[in-house]
Structure 1
Amino acid sequence: MKRLSSLDAQFLAAESGNFGSQYCGLAIFDTSEHVIDATVMRERLERALPTCPPLHWKVVEVPFNLDHPVVVEADVNLDDHVTESTLDSHDDKSLSIAAAQILATKLDRSRPLWRLHVFHGLPGRTAIVITVHHAMADGIAANEILSALVDADRVVDPAAARESKPYPQRSELARSGLASLPGRWIRALRAAPDTLAHLDQVPALRALPGVHTLASRLRGDTGALRLDAPRTRFTTKLSPGRSVAFGTVSLDVIKSVKNQFGFTVNDVVIALCAGALRRRLLATGDLPAAPLVAYIPVSTRLPDAPDRFGNAITSIIAPIPTHLDDLSERLSFAHDNLKSAKRRTQQAPPSLLSDVNDPIPTPIFGIAAKGLMDLISTRFIRPPVNLIISNVAGSPKELTIGGAPLVGSFPLSVVFDSFALNITVVSYQKNLDIGIVGDAVALPDGWNLVEDFHRELADLAALTHSNGRTEK
């Protein structure tokens, strides 16, 4: 039995209406000479079960909400979790529609919170969409699940293997919940000064009236300027549907820009995202004069941390240069503002996103989470952020399943009421794979945005070539 952290539990508690906390990994394999089907994946998953706890974790509520939910060991019938089908149209857009439908469908809490679907029909390729609940794993942890399914010489550590445990009784859960209350209140009191001083780093709270003033005064930074997010078409409540698009750009070009100008890969990625979004919003007449504000999740999980699953993240809140016409200025703006935003994040405790939830009494935790999401999506509150941008390091080496090479891995992450756009990128070999998720109404032009990424990267490559030629 494992108690969920308050951050993990928030992803469960906030689920309401059209919002669900599930996210997907879309992996496409070259199967021109190999076969990947549901049978193959069930065999892989069977081998992965001992060392991937989320695959056999089931959520159990604590009686009277005395504590956050716990996860317990559950029997896994892989037939309930693994399915396959053939796409109606044999192209990426048909796959994106199918993935969007999966992403919009909440996971069944009566069983472990994941599923896997194999899609046939792409010429010479097979796609796998694995869906995991965010309460069970963040982006880094989800990568470990994918890593457990690919070809590798693995020896299961008996100490890490799954142990069969009896299902906890309700009385046991209630006693455990009561026993945890004093410790949780003490931790919350100790964390309160730092938590309050950095409330403006919490995406869902930062735009509430008084938060900026309170936080800046408590940390002695009364001259800090408030970073406001403009309203965009993504400042909306979620509809029932999702929009998905994906694409691949050259990581080598991004690295050449980084080297040419002395920036970081993340600086260039943020500038690339901003440039592509600027193109899209200009094309539709939706571009605000002020820069968009991005929530950029950052992992706080140490490489040798024994707990590899659940959520261990903090947040960078930064403006991105959608308001600048000049490409060089966008790069410099991204570099300067990310450096400043990182310093700001380093001032906050790494456990901030959990600390802010800990003082909330668990009986009203769900009401508070849902109420907050409803509040920030009204026109009475400034948008807290405009979108989420994540940059995840992937494998520099080729990955395979049964000898079939992975040709692209596209993260399809969570969108929220009030910030209904998520762009997540992951590096793989010499490429950067881009997964775009939006609300279906707010983002009807996701594939146009993919084209904008390619155009923006071409301009970056031309700028690098031109600058290098000038220096010579």
Structure 2
Amino acid sequence: MLLPMSPADSVFLSVESPQTPMHVGGLELFFPAEDAPSPAELFSQLSSGSTANDVAPLFKKRPRRSLATAGQWAWEEDRQFDLSHHVRHNSLPQPGRVLELLALCSRLHSTLLDRQRPLWELHFIEGLADGRFALYFKVHHALLDGVSAQRLLQRILTKDPAARGLPPPWANRPAAPRPAQQQPAPPSPEELVANLLRSAREVATDVAGIPSALVRTVNRGLQSQSAPISFAAPRSMFNVPISGSRRFAAQSWPLERINRIRRGARCTVNDVVLAACSGALRTYLSSMDALPEAPLIAMVPVALRVRDRARESGNALGAVMCDLGTHLADPADRLRTVRRSMKEGKQALAELSPLQIVAMTGLGMSPLLLQSIPGYAELLRPPFNLIISNVPGPRTPLYLNGARLDGLYPLSIPYHGQALNITCTSYTDELSFGLTGCRRTVPHLQRMLGYLEDELTALEQATG
């Protein structure tokens, strides 16, 4: 049975190539419990005993495009599903440092997922010298986005350190019974017609407002103000065609350090993250003699409350093109620039309806689809220089068969013209940075971790 694939999801399959794998990933580090079995036994517990019938339908979907689908991508069940292909056991070479772990994740993140099979893999990794083990999970963006993948992987985790025998993330779980609720009375024919007319009128109003929203958005972009569209991004070493090889660097910092800077500067955690990235990027590019005179522009996904005609307010996801202030030498000036840019961008989005935000954000990102055309990235300015995102994570400690989750690091998607991606996520009292870059285009990526530490220290001093 073929299931239709949404146009948005099919784009990730259509633009994928050996140079641009379109999967996201996550790395989780664990400290084993005192009574924990050996790593080999842990892997056996995680992977054995499951048959194809025990696997949730999501994990058995593979993509297909044929005459039967009119040339469009669709999903079908893999009737020869092989769990051992998707769940794998890895051991690090000596001396088993985090450096070897990140190198392995870099290689795993560089390879395409097999389209003849469901588009996911889970790697159990042992051999760290300090006794920890790791899980690396990768899944195609057509199947799950990064946030959904992170939440799904956390299904095997629990807040109870004594819990054992939890089902794996791919387990076919029965749907939880919903509490009985009193059903509202059905609307009368008059109310139904009135609701339909009101909804149609609201959609028509939003659509009619798109041209004026576009004019306002483009004007802001032309004036170098923050908006979903930017015309100010300079050419940089990140905005070129890339290879398929990846390098991954990751590190965590105490959230209290970030919060001290936030309180001192009266800004948001995301402002501090962006300012730290700004300073680290400035130092990195300067060391390569590749710092543009104009400031780098980062595309920053944001969630915000916006006006909604159907309700008093509504939620919407959009993107702000943030001026990182990388042309400024003073860290305090960079932080002020980031704070002002993000505030302006959020205000600009808040003036739009959710439908208009989606339209403007899509328009601002649409040039990415042209980056794979030979020569495009060299001839025209990039729509932005890199993506920096901050995704909230679990606030309480989590456990896997008694093993405590010690670190959570996201891996994302570089693309032609966007050779570096920085994604952050929080866990308990730490903020973790995951830097994913093209191995050839962004050399010595691990140095960025030291530059991030230096910039956080400089921001602490600048904010007292």
TM score, norm. by length of structure 2: 0.77
TM-superposed deviation, 1:16: 2.1
Alpha-carbon distance between aligned partners in 2 of 1:410 and 1:49, rounded to the nearest angstrom: 28
Alpha-carbon distance between aligned partners in 2 of 1:63 and 1:355, rounded to the nearest angstrom: 31
Taking the aligned partners of 1:28 and 1:441, their CA distance within structure 2 comes to: 27
Match of 1:149 among 156, 174, 197: 156
Question: 2: CA distance between counterparts of 1:336 and 1:68?
Answer: 44
Q: Which is greater in Rg?
A: 2
Q: Aligned ranges for residues 135-214 of structure 1 at < 5 Å? A: 135-151=142-158, 158-159=174-175
Secondary structure of the 2:377 match is coil
Q: 2:409 — aligned with what?
A: 410
What is the one-letter code of the residue matched to 2:16? E
Whole-angstrom distance in 2 between the partners of 1:377 and 1:60: 30
Q: Deviations over 1:19-60 (max 9, x none)?
A: 11012101111137334543233269889977x654232223
Root-mean-square deviation over aligned CA pairs: 3.6
Look up the match of 2:310.
Answer: none
Name the SS of the counterpart of 2:443 in structure 1: coil
Of 414-423 and 216-225, deviating more is 216-225
Q: Which residue number corresponds to residue 117 of structure 2?
A: 111
Which one of 90, 97, 100 corresponds to residue 94 of structure 1? 100
Map 1:12-161; keep pairs closer than 5 Å: 12-31=13-32, 33=34, 34=36, 35-36=38-39, 37-42=42-47, 54-61=58-65, 63=67, 66=70, 68-74=72-78, 76-89=81-94, 90-123=96-129, 124-151=131-158, 158-159=174-175
Note the 1:433-472 alignment, pairs <5 A: 433-464=432-463, 467=464
Q: Which deviations, in whole Å up to 9, do the C-alpha atoms of 1:240-266 show, x marking residues without a partner?
A: 211111111111111111122211111
CA contact (8 A) 2:349 2:357 kept: no
What does 1:43-442 correspond to in 2, within 5 Å? Answer: 54-61=58-65, 63=67, 66=70, 68-74=72-78, 76-89=81-94, 90-123=96-129, 124-151=131-158, 158-159=174-175, 215-216=214-215, 224-225=223-224, 227-298=231-302, 314-347=318-351, 350=354, 373-374=372-373, 377-442=376-441
Identity of aligned residues (%): 30
**Residues 26 and 411 in structure 1, CA contact (< 8 A), matched pair in contact too:** yes
- Cα 1:380–1:86 change in 2 (3 A) is same
- Offset of 1:379 from its aligned partner? 1.7
Q: Which structure 2 segments of 5+ residues have no match?
A: 161-165, 178-202, 225-229, 307-315
For the residue of structure 2 that corresponds to 1:390, the secondary structure is strand
CA 1:5 to 1:356, structure 2 compared with 1: closer, same or farther past 3 Å? farther
Deviates most, 52-61 or 102-111: 52-61
Task: Give deviations 1:172-201, integer Å, cap 9, x for gaps.
Answer: xxxxxxxxxxxxxxxx99987666666xxx
Distance 1:96 1:45, change over 3 A: farther
Bigger shift: residues 101-110 or 222-231: 222-231
The one-letter amino acid paired with 2:412 is S
1:5 maps to 2:6: yes
Q: Secondary structure at the match of 2:11?
A: helix
Contact preservation (8 Å) 1:139, 1:392: no
SS of residue matched to 1:127: strand
How many angstroms apart in 2 are the aligned matches of 1:415 and 1:443?
A: 11
Q: CA deviation at 1:297?
A: 2.6
**Other-structure match for 1:165:** none
TM-score after normalising by structure 1: 0.76
Cα drift, residue 151 of structure 1:
2.6
SS at match of 1:374: coil
Deviation at 1:354, TM superposition (A): 7.3
Q: Is the Cα contact below 8 Å between 1:6 and 1:354 reproduced in 2?
A: no
Give the SS at the match of 2:433. strand
Contact 2:232 2:297 in 1 (8 A): yes
**Across the two proteins, how many residue pairs are aligned to each other?**
405
1:40 partner letter = Q
